[in-house]
Every structure is written in C-alpha cells, then in structure tokens.
C-alpha cells in the first residue's frame, strides 16, 4: 500500500479531473459566451477550435475586466478571451500540474488528451487535497522546468525529499519508488525536449525503456543510465534511414541525461548501443537467440533486459515484448538454470557464525545484499510466469502463486526493506557531509539495532539465494 506522503507523486492528472467544463466554439460572440456561462453557472468557459482543441478561456474575471461596459455583445469572444492558453496533458504527473498552476497563479487548468482535444478541467483545490503544505513546497522544487539547470535542481531536491520522508518514517522502498518515478519523469521530459530539437517527427513509433533499478522502481540516489529503445517494426529497406534517426536521438538523449545527473553507463547499456536499440520483432527474436545459446554472455544480457519498463513514447510497443518475455521464460528451464549458475558469485556479506564480512570496515550493500535478493526473486518470478518487475511486487506475486508461504513473503519483504533503508540512510548522510555518494556502508556507522537488522536481513537473503540455486541447479554452494 503506497504511503500517503508519496501517493501524490504517482497520480496522473487524469486521476483528478473535475466536472467537464462548459465549452463554446472560438467563433462565438461575447453575448453567446456570456449566455453559456449564465446557463451553466460555471466560473469559466473553454473556447475550442473545430477539432475540440482548447484555444482560450473566458472567466468571470475576464468579463469584469474586459467585457462589461467595454465591448458590444456581438464582439468575437476571441478578442477578449485569455489566450494563449496554458494546458496540461491528461497523462502528466499530478505533482507537475500543481507546480505549473502555482507558478502561473492558475486556479483552473484545461486538460488535453493525446490528440490535443479537451479532456476536462483540473482544479487546484482538488489537486491540493492530496498534498500537505510541506509536500507542496517540495513539489515546487521537484517539478523544475526549463533545461539542464532545472533538471539538476530536481536531482538535488530528491535528496532533501528522501531525507525528509525518512525522518517521517516513510519506508525506504516507498522512497526509492518515488525517486524512480521522478527520475523516469525526467527521462520522459528530456526525451520530449530532444524530439523538439530534432528535425521532423520520428520516422517510426518508439518506446524509450529503462532497465535495472529504474525498471524495478528501486533507484537509489544518482543512478547511472540503463536505457534502450523498442521501435515499431518497419521494412528492412528503410533500416539505414530509420535507425540513423534513432541513433541521433539516442546520442542526444544519453548526453543530455548525463548532463543533468545520470552518468553514462560504463557497461554501455544505453540506446546508443545497437544491442539495446531494436524493433519489436527484433527484440522478440533477440530473446529467442539468448535462450537458444544459453551462453554466459547471453544470460547476463538477458538478466539486464528482463526488468525493463517503458517511460516515454508509445508504451503499447512494450506490451508484446513483455508478454513474450513472460511466456517464453516460464518454459525455458535450461536457460533459467544458466541464470542461476551466473548468480553463484552473488553472495551476501554474511560470514561464518553470523559475522558480517567487510572490506576495510565497509560493505557494498548493493553487491552483497540487494543484488543477490533481486536476482533470486527475479529468477523465481520468471519461472512462475510473473510479469511485474519490482522486487517487492514479485515477492507478493510469488506468495499469491503459492511459491512462498506467508512467513517467507513477510521475512523476505522485511529483509529487502531493511537493507534498502540502511543504504539509503548512508547515501543521504554522505550527501549531507559532502562525501561521495556510493553503495558502501561503514559497519561502525550503524547503531546496534540497525546492525542486528542487517545481520538478520543478510541471513534471510542468503537463504533465499540458496533456495534459488538449489531449485535450478541442484546445488547450494
């Protein structure tokens, strides 16, 4: 269940639409527009073009300032309406709509559908019902628009928001999910900016996807880039032209993301690499090739890909690819065996007699706790035909499928939440102290209770990883 303090960041404008506003054609006269307002008893009237796209707004304030005793009734309403009109897409995040309305001192904001047609009206009072005063201040900082500097400011604001939510006892996994939502929103906005700069429309439909922690909703602070493209199928003869366009798009996107605080992936898992830039049909074929080869390289590449989600473009393009992954992997025991063997070196930091193993007093919690848990849960979810990508969502789904009993579900979820809490607190502490933000935690920095929680979590993760190895390889070592 989402925490009330983070729920607003998940909501879309479409989730909060008020009663559809009255409309009139932009060709109407002032007299006709005023009559419409009187009949509907509304405080504002949206003026639309022939395609029902909003082009202006006439409010009671407009009538008082510009119409009454000033213009004759037959005056075209286009001469007195508020225009150009500020609008927002129905699929936009609600927190960004709140910030836009506050910046522009708007009480009402027309909402448009994908085709630009009027979809409804967002009222600020309704939107603010989901947010406390403190959250509204945070929203203002998280919704920065206007280029690279604003996006970098969003990244800084995330750290402060995460610290504040932790202090309010919001679970770390909820905060990671929020950070991921905002990060993926930045992806979408940067993609939109890049598309605006490029000449002409995309030569084919596409979905920008993120993988790794971004696909699972588990971003910690300052993640690097793991992204790719699913492109709508096109004739082979057009490959040079179409792929050339998307190569340019990918180059611009990844460089812009790097500039705003998402470092380039050192493993080259980015849409600039043709391996991660394919059509729908090519992605399905690529998965089939990986399964057939079962080489260590194929297993590692597939393991990266399995957590993808779409964040920009046409999300529908990702659905057949996800369905192919879910259906195919549930019937690929030899490949899953190879995946399990590739995880054998992912050992937790738990040593003999329950001691926590460190390297110069520190533990890389991502490598020695989170990755083993993520890998084991992913493996079990794939064999069960589970399509969700988040680790805790997979744990819940495995419980629902009868692969985990209630105690397993509870203790694995608790272990994962505890290690995420410890790492996120360490990252925020490092940021506040001006130190490098990474995945390492000094054991001496933990309180006795957190050290005990870590020891317990590592024990559960080690048992989970051993179970996955045993089920697929027959070994526990």
Weakest-pLDDT range from 61-70, 89-98, 208-217, 225-234: 61-70
* pLDDT tens digit sequence for 256-273: 999 988 999 999 999 999
108-112 and 88-89 as β-strands: parallel, antiparallel, unpaired?
A: parallel
Q: Is the pLDDT of residue 458 over 70?
A: yes
Mean pLDDT of 446-458: 95
* pLDDT tens digit sequence for 225-250: 999 999 999 999 999 999 999 999 99
Q: How confident is the model at residue 73 (pLDDT cuts 50, 70, 90)?
A: confident
Greater confidence, 477 or 130? 130
Q: Is the pLDDT of residue 2 over 60?
A: no
- Residues with Cβ within 8 Å of 252's Cβ and at least 6 positions away in sequence, in order, are 194, 197, 198
Q: How many CB atoms lie within 10 A of CB 394?
A: 25
- Residues with Cβ within 8 Å of 413's Cβ and at least 6 positions away in sequence, in order, are 392, 395, 396
Q: How confident is the model at residue 278 (pLDDT cuts 50, 70, 90)?
A: very high
Share of the chain above pLDDT 70, in %: 94
Q: How far apart are CA 224 and CA 216, in angstroms?
A: 14
Greater confidence, 318 or 294? 318
Q: Is the pLDDT of residue 390 over 60?
A: yes
> 461: closest CA among 381, 363, 349?
349
Would you say domain 144-329 falls under CATH 3.10.450.50? no
Q: How confident is the model at residue 144 (pLDDT cuts 50, 70, 90)?
A: low
- Whether the CB-CB separation of 476 and 383 falls below 8 Å is answered with no
Greater confidence, 76 or 151? 76
The structural domains of the chain, with segments of one domain joined by +, span 4-128, 144-329, 341-473
Q: Is the pLDDT of residue 102 over 90?
A: no
pLDDT value, residue 146 = 58
Q: How confident is the model at residue 471 (pLDDT cuts 50, 70, 90)?
A: confident
Q: Is the pLDDT of residue 223 over 50?
A: yes
Q: How far apart are CA 394 and CA 381, in angstroms?
A: 6
Q: How far apart are CA 264 and CA 66, in angstroms?
A: 53
- Whether the CB-CB separation of 308 and 387 falls below 8 Å is answered with no
Q: How many CB atoms lie within 10 A of CB 399?
A: 18
pLDDT value, residue 68 = 58
**What is the overall mean pLDDT for the chain?**
88
pLDDT value, residue 379 = 95
> 315: closest CA among 202, 185, 209, 183?
209
Q: How confident is the model at residue 460 (pLDDT cuts 50, 70, 90)?
A: very high
Q: Is the pLDDT of residue 322 over 90?
A: yes
Q: How far apart are CA 464 and CA 413, in angstroms?
A: 11
Same CATH topology for 4-128 and 144-329: the answer is no
Q: Model pTM?
A: 0.79
Q: How far apart are CA 419 and CA 364, in angstroms?
A: 11
The listed CATH number (3.10.580.10, 3.30.390.50, 2.10.69.10, 1.10.8.10) that belongs to domain 4-128: 3.10.580.10
Give the angle 420-426-431 at the CA atoms, nearest 5°.
125
Phi, psi angles (nearest 5°) of residue 219: -65, 130
Q: How many CB atoms lie within 10 A of CB 292?
A: 12
- Residues with Cβ within 8 Å of 5's Cβ and at least 6 positions away in sequence, in order, are 132, 135, 165, 168, 170
> 193: closest CA among 147, 246, 227, 133?
147
371-383 vs 448-473: helix crossing angle, rounded to 10: 40
Q: Is the pLDDT of residue 1 over 50?
A: no
């Amino acid at each position: 269940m989402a925490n009330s303090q983070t729920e607003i960041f998940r909501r879309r404008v479409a989730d909060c639409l008020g009663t559809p506003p009255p409309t009139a054609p932009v060709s109407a006269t002032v007299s006709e527009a005023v009559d419409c307002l009187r009949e509907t008893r509304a405080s504002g009237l949206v003026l639309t073009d022939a395609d029902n796209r909003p082009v202006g707004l006439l409010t009671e304030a407009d009538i008082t300032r510009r119409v009454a005793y000033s213009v004759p009734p037959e005056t075209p309403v286009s001469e007195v309406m508020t225009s150009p009109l500020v609008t927002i897409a129905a699929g936009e995040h609600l927190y960004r709509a709140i910030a836009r309305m506050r910046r522009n001192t708007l009480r009402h904001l027309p909402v448009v559908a994908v085709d630009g047609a009027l979809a409804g009206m967002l009222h600020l009072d309704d939107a603010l019902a989901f947010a406390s005063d403190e959250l509204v201040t945070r929203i203002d900082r998280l919704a920065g628009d206007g280029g690279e500097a604003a996006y970098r400011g969003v990244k800084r604001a995330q750290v402060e928001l995460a610290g504040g939510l932790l202090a309010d006892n919001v679970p770390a996994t909820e905060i990671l999910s929020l950070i991921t939502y905002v990060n993926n929103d930045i992806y979408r906005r940067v993609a939109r900016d890049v598309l605006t700069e490029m000449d002409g429309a995309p030569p084919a439909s596409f979905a920008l996807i993120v993988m790794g922690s971004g696909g699972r909703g588990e971003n910690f602070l300052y993640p690097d880039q793991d992204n790719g493209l699913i492109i709508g199928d096109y004739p082979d003869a057009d490959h040079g032209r179409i792929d050339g366009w998307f190569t340019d798009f990918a180059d611009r996107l990844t460089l812009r993301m790097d500039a705003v605080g998402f470092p380039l992936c050192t493993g080259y898992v980015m849409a600039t690499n043709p391996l991660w830039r394919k059509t729908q049909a090519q992605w399905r074929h690529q998965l089939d090739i990986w399964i057939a080869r079962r080489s260590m390289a194929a297993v590692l590449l597939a393991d990266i890909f399995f957590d993808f989600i779409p964040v920009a473009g046409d999300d529908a393009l990702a659905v057949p690819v996800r369905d192919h992954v879910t259906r195919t992997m549930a019937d690929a025991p030899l490949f899953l065996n190879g995946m399990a063997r590739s995880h054998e070196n992912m050992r937790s930091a738990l040593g003999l007699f329950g001691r926590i193993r460190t390297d110069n007093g520190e533990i890389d919690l991502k490598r020695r706790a989170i990755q083993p848990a993520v890998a084991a849960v992913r493996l079990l979810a794939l064999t069960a035909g589970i399509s969700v990508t988040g680790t805790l969502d997979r744990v819940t789904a495995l419980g629902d499928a009868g692969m985990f009993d209630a105690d397993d579900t509870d203790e694995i979820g608790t272990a994962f939440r505890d290690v995420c809490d410890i790492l996120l607190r360490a990252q925020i502490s490092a940021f506040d102290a001006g130190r490098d933000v990474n995945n390492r935690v000094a054991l001496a920095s933990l309180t006795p209770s957190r050290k005990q929680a870590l020891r317990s979590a590592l024990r559960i993760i080690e048992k989970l990883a051993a179970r996955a190895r045993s089920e697929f390889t027959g070994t526990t070592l």
